[in-house]
Amino acid sequence: MNLDNHKNLITDNGFTVINNIFSDEEIEKISEVIQHIDISKETFRKSEDLFAIRQFLKEIPEVSELIFNENIRTIIKEIFGGKYFVVKSIYFDKPEKSNWYVAYHQDLTISVDKKIELPNFRSWTTKQNQFAVQPPLDILENIFTIRIHLDDTDENNGALKVVPKSHTKGIYRPEAIDWSIETERICNIQSGGIMIMKPLTLHGSNRTTDGRRRRVIHIEFSDMELPQDLKWSEKLN
């Protein structure tokens, strides 16, 4: 697996797509584990439009050995670096009838274990005893996100759309996008493929038009410790 090209694409554009990271059999096993979980927990969100599991790897630890196969471990080591660890994980299932639309945005918050006053940590929120905060820019710039696709995804079932190179522009408000200079890219990904993205890359998704479901596992990685007594609430080595 030659990853230098992908590393350069992430640095330059803020994202890359790598297919064939998981076999059909591996995807089947991951799907099976998810199908047999107790969905009554408060970290699970279920509606007609969306089924989501926050703190996914903490809630379903048995899925970890399936997700961190040899390919993923090699990618983390060679593209991110040997000291990177998980800091957040979410599972999304946008079912067949879902008409879910996500406007352009950057991922600007991290999950932490408590709320304390720190310089340049702002916009605190709490969801289900989970503290989230917008940290200083250098912490966000250091994060890599892997999105594992359990279904084929294209422009007809809500594939992610991104603005290449937007990750280099700091906090970039969607209403400030100048479409005379920016371009939009739709990221088609096969089942078993992954997208790697920097959280500051502007991204969104359109509504599904062909009634196919879209299941994605979203995992964020960092190699930075947080200041003072603040800790990553979902840290997994």
Q: Which of 84, 48, 45 is nearest to 68 (CA)?
A: 84
d(CA 186, CA 205): 9
227 within domain boundaries: no
Please tell me the predicted confidence (pLDDT) of residue 100: 66
171 within domain boundaries: yes
Residues of the chain predicted below pLDDT 50: none
What phi and psi, each to the nearest 5 degrees, are found at residue 215?
-110, 130
Domain that holds residue 217: 4-222
- Adjacent-strand bridge partners of 214: 94
Please tell me the predicted confidence (pLDDT) of residue 96: 62
Any idea what the CATH number is for the domain that residue 82 is in? 2.60.120.620
142 within domain boundaries: yes
Please tell me the predicted confidence (pLDDT) of residue 101: 78
pLDDT digits over 28-52, tens only? 999 999 988 877 766 676 655 568 8
233 within domain boundaries: no
Rounded to two decimals, the pTM is 0.94
234 within domain boundaries: no
124 within domain boundaries: yes
Please tell me the predicted confidence (pLDDT) of residue 43: 62
8 Cβ partners below 8 Å, 6+ apart?
none
| DSSP assignment letter at 32 | H
Q: How many domains does the chain have?
A: 1
